Every structure is written in structure tokens, then in C-alpha cells.
């Protein structure tokens, strides 16, 4: 498959993810995932996250491009962020037969607030549309105000909320 590269800003370039990106993706995602686990300890297990094999998750995505796609953002040739999108078929009662679900979107700290996340998200929407997918979903934790703001500014809305509680609490 021919590599897709796209210049999307003065210094931001997007490209398809590759096996060689896995170490940087793992480092970035571990930082993000552990932050999530620390802020939501009742539902996310930090120790289990630390043991997660990010490499195998991303190798599966690269091996199954009909079910996933991964895009990498670079600024001046430096790894700046990643987005991983899963292509899913929801239950038959959903209006759209396929959805693109953002599984991971993360930006390296030094490149935040430079439009990297927005460029990755817009590019994911473009790729989904090119594949004939009419709907994109993303799960965003309530503490992640910058991502909520980004999603809302991109026209996303939250049609439902997920509520959680341990079963041993009354």
C-alpha cells in the first residue's frame, strides 16, 4: 500500500503509522493511560495498564487495515502525536452500518496547543468519509476538558453518558 502523507499545517505533517512508530506510540500512550488511571482509579487499573502490550495492539491494527487505521503527526520531523481508529459495525438498529471509533488520540506534551490533535481528528474524519463511513465516535473522559472542548468545536455531541459504580457500593 502506498504511504499516505499529507501536509496539514505550517510544520505539521500527517502520515500512516508504521511498526517503527510503536516505541514512541507506547511511550506516549503509557503517559496518557496512566494519567487516566490516576484520575479514574475505580475503573482503570494502573498496574495492569503498565503491563499492556501496546505493540501487539498496534501490530494488529497495521495487519488489519480494513478494520483499523493509524495516523502519525510529525512537527519538523519529530513524532508529535497519534490517532488510532477502529472501524466497527454497530447493532442493526443504529442508523449507520459502520462507524469509525477513535480508540486513541494523544499528543506529545511539547506539541500540545499547536493544533496537532485537531489535525489528527479532522484527518480521521476525512479518511472515514473516503471509506464510506458516515459516523465517527470518540470516548472522552469527563476530566479531559481540552479534548471535550476539541470534540465540541469539531461539531461532536454526546448523545449519552456512561455511568459507573462498583457493585459492592450501595
Q: Which pLDDT value is given to residue 87?
A: 94
Indicate the length of the chain as a whole number.
170
Give pLDDT, residue 91. 86
Average pLDDT of the chain is 88
Instruction: Convert the pLDDT of each residue in 105-121 to its tens digit.
Output: 999 999 999 999 999 99
Residue 160: inside a domain: no
Task: Determine, yes or no, domain membership for 164.
Answer: no
Measured on CA atoms in the order 119, 24, 38, 62, is the torsion positive or negative? positive
Which whole number is the average pLDDT over 16-32? 94
Query: What is the reported pTM?
Result: 0.85
CA atoms within 13 A on the CB side of 77: 0
Contacts of 154 (CB under 8 A, 6+ apart): 118, 121, 122, 125
Nearest to 87 by CA among 67, 102, 58: 67
> Which one has a higher pLDDT value, 7 or 117?
117
Q: For the chain, what percentages of helix, strand and coil (3-state, to nearest 5) are there? A: 40, 25, 40
Confidence of residue 3 (pLDDT cuts 50, 70, 90): low
Q: Quick one: cell of 22? A: 510503536
Which range among 47-51, 76-80, 90-94 shows the weakest confidence by mean pLDDT?
90-94
Q: How many domains does the chain have?
A: 1
When pLDDT is averaged across residues 141-150 and rounded to a whole number, the result is 88
Please report the pLDDT score of residue 1 as a whole number.
Answer: 42
Q: Is residue 159 part of a domain?
A: no
Residue 158 falls inside a structural domain: no
- Which is higher by pLDDT, 68 or 170? 68
Q: Confirm whether 32 is domain-assigned.
A: yes
Instruction: Kindly indicate the confidence band of residue 97, based on its pLDDT and cuts at 50, 70 and 90.
Output: confident
Q: Residue 170 pLDDT > 70, yes or no?
A: no
For residue 60, being part of any structural domain is answered with yes
Q: Name the band, by pLDDT with cuts 50, 70 and 90, for residue 2.
A: very low
Q: Which residues contact 25 (CB under 8 A, 6 or more apart)?
A: 17, 54, 58, 82
Parallel, antiparallel or unpaired: strands 136-138 and 12-16: unpaired
CATH of the domain at 99: 3.40.630.30
Round to whole Å and give the CA distance between 107 and 2: 25
Q: Is residue 147 part of a domain?
A: yes
> Is residue 166 assigned to a domain?
no
User: What pairs with residue 37 in β-bridges?
Assistant: none
Burial tier of 42 (Cβ tally within 10 Å: 0-12, 13-18, 19+): exposed
Specify which of 33-42, 86-95, 126-135 reaches the highest per-range mean pLDDT.
126-135
Residue 4 has pLDDT above 90, yes or no: no
What three-state secondary structure class fits 99? strand
Backbone CA torsion sign across 128, 49, 53, 80: positive
Domain residue limits at 81: 5-152
Amino acid at each position: 500500500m502506498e504511504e499516505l502523507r499529507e501536509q496539514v499545517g505550517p510544520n505539521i505533517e500527517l502520515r500512516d503509522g508504521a511498526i517503527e512508530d510503536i516505541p514512541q506510540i507506547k511511550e506516549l500512550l503509557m503517559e496518557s493511560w496512566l494519567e487516566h488511571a490516576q484520575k479514574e482509579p475505580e475503573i482503570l487499573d494502573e498496574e495492569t495498564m503498565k503491563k499492556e502490550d501496546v505493540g501487539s495492539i498496534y501490530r494488529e491494527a497495521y495487519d488489519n487495515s480494513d478494520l483499523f487505521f493509524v495516523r502519525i503527526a510529525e512537527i519538523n520531523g519529530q513524532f508529535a502525536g497519534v490517532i488510532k481508529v477502529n472501524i466497527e459495525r454497530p447493532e442493526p438498529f443504529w442508523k449507520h452500518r459502520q462507524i469509525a471509533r477513535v480508540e486513541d488520540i494523544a499528543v506529545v506534551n511539547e506539541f500540545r496547543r499547536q493544533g496537532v490533535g485537531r489535525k489528527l481528528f479532522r484527518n480521521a474524519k476525512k479518511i472515514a468519509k473516503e471509506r464510506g463511513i458516515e459516523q465517527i465516535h470518540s470516548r472522552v473522559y469527563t476530566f479531559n476538558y481540552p479534548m471535550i472542548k476539541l470534540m465540541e468545536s469539531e461539531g461532536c455531541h454526546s448523545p449519552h453518558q456512561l455511568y459507573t459504580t462498583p457493585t459492592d457500593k450501595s
